[in-house]
Amino acid sequence: VSFIIHMEKLRMKILVENKVPFLHGLLEEYADVDYAHPDEITPQRVRDVDAMIVRTRTRCDASLLDGSRCRFVATATIGTDHIDLPWCAARGIAVANAPGCNAPAVAQYVFGTIAALRPALPMTAHTLAVIGVGHVGSIVARWARSLGMRVLLCDPPRSRAEGGTQWCSLADAAREADIITFHTPLTAEGPDRTLHLASEEWMLSLKRKPLVINAARGPVVDNAALVRALDRGLVGDAAIDCWEGEPHISHALLERAAVATPHIAGYSREGKWRASQMALDALTARFGLPHIRLAEDAPLPAPDSVTASAVAASYNPLLADTPALKAHPEQFEQLRNDYSLRTELH
């Protein structure tokens, strides 16, 4: 009896954002679990939680967590720019993310976009610049080479750390690329600042009227400058999945973008599986719980190579996603939250 009473006192409380899939019912044996819509995650709601599993729409900073007993946040996303990492670290709140979870899905989005917007040209006709060669960029580069594309790699942090001759500069990309795709994190300060990395000055230097794709973070590309570059003919087409000011996006850019989607480039069923499993693994390791596996089958790894026909058949952003957002930009969040998860390219 005393042991049971002791365990009840130790029973933890976990808040799970209810838009994180596959987790319902898995943690109840070990904790009291509160599933909350993103709009319902308030300071009062989190005051007595020990841990949270969230997505990018839950801003984890002093305004939410000050006064809470929360000591662990797992985000089922690659990015962490919605979390005030220094503030959390100073207060002993550990943070875990899910690096690479949706990388194959984003690569599928990139090549589905290229196939949709450049159907008359073979893939071998393109020079592709990959800006940011991490989990996503590495798959994009690998698939591009398998399709016979000329590939330029731009990643200053990796270039400094690894050396070698395989790297190009942002200026090289502006001069030589027919397609430029961004896959960097968002950093506002420091030598590797990516806020408005695609700046107006950089767009003025573009030589080949490229297709510009942003499936990274909205502010990596200066949205107002991109509209002007499109109007001037400096950019041939724009494919925008990540926007400044989400969910209140630029209507001028929405009108001018050839592909416009509500931040769903990484929204595959497999990507969501990886993200949820990684968040669950981080939480159970942190609190010494048994390993828990999602009921869904684990996804296959990303292929090393793809074909142009398979890419085109697997996803076309012009069929449903772009028309839906252009027709109802005010429903950005709803379109994102209710998105039908697609199947990755295998």
pLDDT tens, position by position, 98-110? 999 999 999 999 9
Q: Is 336 annotated in the active site?
A: no
Q: What is the pLDDT of residue 10?
A: 61
The residues near 272 (Cβ < 8 Å, ≥ 6 apart) are 21, 22, 76, 101, 102, 341
Q: Which of 157, 165, 105, 154 is nearest to 128 (CA)?
A: 154
Residue 14: band (very low, low, confident or very high) from pLDDT cuts 50, 70, 90: very high
Angle at 263 between CA 192 and CA 84, to 5 degrees: 50
Tell me the residue type at 312: A
Give the tens place of pLDDT for each residue, 22-57.
999 999 999 999 999 999 999 999 999 999 999 988
Q: Is 244 annotated in the active site?
A: no
Q: Which of 57, 196, 263, 342 is catalytic?
A: 263
Report which secondary-structure segment, H or E, holds 308: helix 308-314
Q: Which of 59, 118, 150, 246 is catalytic?
A: 246
Asked if pLDDT for residue 11 goes beyond 90, the answer is: no
- In terms of Cβ atoms closer than 10 Å to its own Cβ (0-12, 13-18, 19+), residue 267 is buried
Q: Which of 57, 183, 217, 274 is catalytic?
A: 217
Q: What is the pLDDT of residue 219?
A: 97
Give the tens place of pLDDT for each residue, 139-187.
999 999 999 999 999 999 999 999 999 999 999 999 999 999 999 999 9
Q: What is the pLDDT of residue 346?
A: 84
Q: Which of 139, 76, 113, 60 is nearest to 346 (CA)?
A: 139
Edge-to-edge order in the sheet of strand 211-214? 150-154, 127-131, 179-182, 211-214, 237-240, 259-260
| 78-86 average pLDDT score | 93
| pTM for the whole structure | 0.91
CA distance linking residue 154 with residue 129, whole number of Å: 7
The total of other beta-carbon atoms located within 10 Å of residue 337's CB is 15
The residues near 307 (Cβ < 8 Å, ≥ 6 apart) are 147
Q: Is 29 annotated in the active site?
A: no
CA distance linking residue 63 with residue 280, whole number of Å: 25
What are the CA-CA distances from residue 128 to residues 143, 157, 158, 301 (Å)? Answer: 11, 20, 18, 23
What percent of the chain shows pLDDT beyond 90? 92
Q: Which of 343, 315, 310, 289 is nearest to 14 (CA)?
A: 289
On whether the CB atoms of residues 273 and 80 are closer than 8 A, the answer is no
Give the tens place of pLDDT for each residue, 293-327.
998 889 988 999 999 999 999 999 999 999 999 99
The residue assigned the tokens 């420091």 is: 190
CA distance linking residue 144 with residue 139, whole number of Å: 8
- Mean per-residue pLDDT of the chain: 95
